[in-house]
Amino acid sequence: MSDKKKLLRALSGETLDVPPVWLMRQAGRYLPEYRATRAEAGDFLSLCYNPDLAAEVTLQPIRRYGFDASILFADILLLPHALGADVWFVTGEGPRLSTITEASGLVKLKGKDDIHDHMAPVYETVRILSRELPSDTTLIGFAGAPWTVATYMIAGRGTPDQAPAHALREGDPETFGALINLLTEATIEYLDQQVQAGAEVVKLFDSWAGSLKGDAFDRFALEPVKRIIAGLKSRHPGLPVIVFPREAGEKYVGFAKAVGADALAIDTAVDTNWAAEYLQPNSCVQGNLDPKLMVTGGDALISETRRIVEALKGGPHIFNLGHGITPDADPENVHRMLEAIRG
Ligand code: 1CP
């Protein structure tokens, strides 16, 4: 038996009898202990920028469930904040940001190397976690992919169809391209510091990748992620990277190889037998239980969990959800899922 951590083994291409498991948004409102710490911190951003409390909420799901990986508690919108955008969260509604609609909005932003004072508490959270996590738990750092982060910076909020970002992309390609470029370069610096502070793996979340089609997908979902990974791996050879071009559909095929990633996270819509045939030969696959089953539970939770493990057991697999666990999930269902995976 190797003494290497299970998540790292799967990421290096090993097929394991029992897949390592963690959940997107595993530190979150479905846990009473999270809600208590969040109340102590005040608002969401104050929690993100308080290293002791951010480390505490990161550790809570590890204590409760013993997941194989822990993901830094932060948010993809901290990077726009560090670059000088206004960012705030409206309770019950979601994030709000100052908007970028033309070149003048871009020149007000800081440079890629000017984010570190702002991000110092996040790096401190990573240092605390790398000291305090159990020795078999892998610490994942993360950032948003440039396209997804840009959609929030352009619209000033979450949007169902990312229309403002598509409008800027088509109407003012120069400003749009400069924003993607700045985010690409700043993300390399940000993740480099997370790794220096102790993150063992990094994940890039491209939640809105699926709204880019054809050539636009290649230019703005694939290329920037490829540049980020190349930048990071030149500084940290062997650093494992997980990518999540959510709802990429047939564009998932070949994506991990094209960007140089070690694992491809798949959303709920992807058929696992198809993933085993077309995606797993190229990289480790992460996913993809429907988060709704964490709410409804029952026999369907157990049978779906077992079905996914079975479908992906012929290659490297990290068990996860197809998207984040929701606030209405039943914490007991997480135990039931783990029992179905680990026996
Ligand atoms: O009320 C609360 O406590 C805030 C809810 C919350 C949480 C727990 C937000 C607001 N962000 C987070 C943490 C978070 N966000 C993590 C921490 C680690 C973990 O997984 O446990 C991560 C990795 C993210 C990533 C993130 N933030 C994404 C990418 C993944 C995804 O879910 O698609 C996105 C799009 C965001 C933006 C964001 N932050 C928060 C919300 C509600 C949103 C989505 C807003 C929208 O699009 O309308």
The pLDDT, as a whole number, for residue 2 is 62
Q: What is the pLDDT of residue 83?
A: 98
Let me know if 64 is a catalytic residue: no
Q: Which of 25, 169, 227, 246 is catalytic?
A: 25
**Residue 295 in domain:** no
Is 184 domain-assigned? yes
pLDDT at 72: 98
Half-sphere exposure of 200 (CA within 13 A, CB side): 21
Position 44 in a domain = no
82 domain-assigned: yes
Residue nearest to atom 48 of ligand 1 (CA): 158
Mean pLDDT by 10 residues, the chain (343 residues): 87 98 98 97 96 98 98 98 97 94 92 97 98 98 98 98 98 97 98 98 98 98 98 98 98 98 98 98 97 98 98 98 98 98 94
Q: Which of 21, 46, 76 to mutate to test the pocket of ligand 1 (most atoms within 8 A of CB)?
A: 76
The best mutation among 21, 25, 35, 77 to test binding of ligand 1, ranked by most ligand atoms within 8 Å of the C-beta, falls on 25
- For the chain, how many helices (H) and strands (E)? 17, 9
CA of 281 to the centre of ligand 1 (A): 30
The verdict on residue 335 lying in a domain is no
96 is catalytic: no
Query: For residue 221, is it within any domain?
Result: yes
What local confidence, expressed as pLDDT, does residue 91 receive? 86
Whether 235 is catalytic: no
Contacts (Cβ under 8 Å, ≥6 apart) of 208: 147, 148, 151, 162, 165, 246
Q: Is residue 311 in a domain?
A: no
Span 39-68, pLDDT tens digits: 999 999 999 999 999 999 999 999 999 999
pLDDT for res 3: 79
pTM, two decimal places: 0.97
User: Does 26 fall in a domain?
Assistant: no
Q: What is the domain-level CATH number for residue 81?
A: 3.20.20.210
Range of the domain at 106: 6-21+64-283
- Percent of the chain whose pLDDT exceeds 70: 99
Residue 191 token pair: 């993740």
Number of domains comprising the chain: 1
Active-site pick, 49, 65, 123, 152: 152
How many angstroms does the Cα of residue 283 sit away from the middle of ligand 1?
26
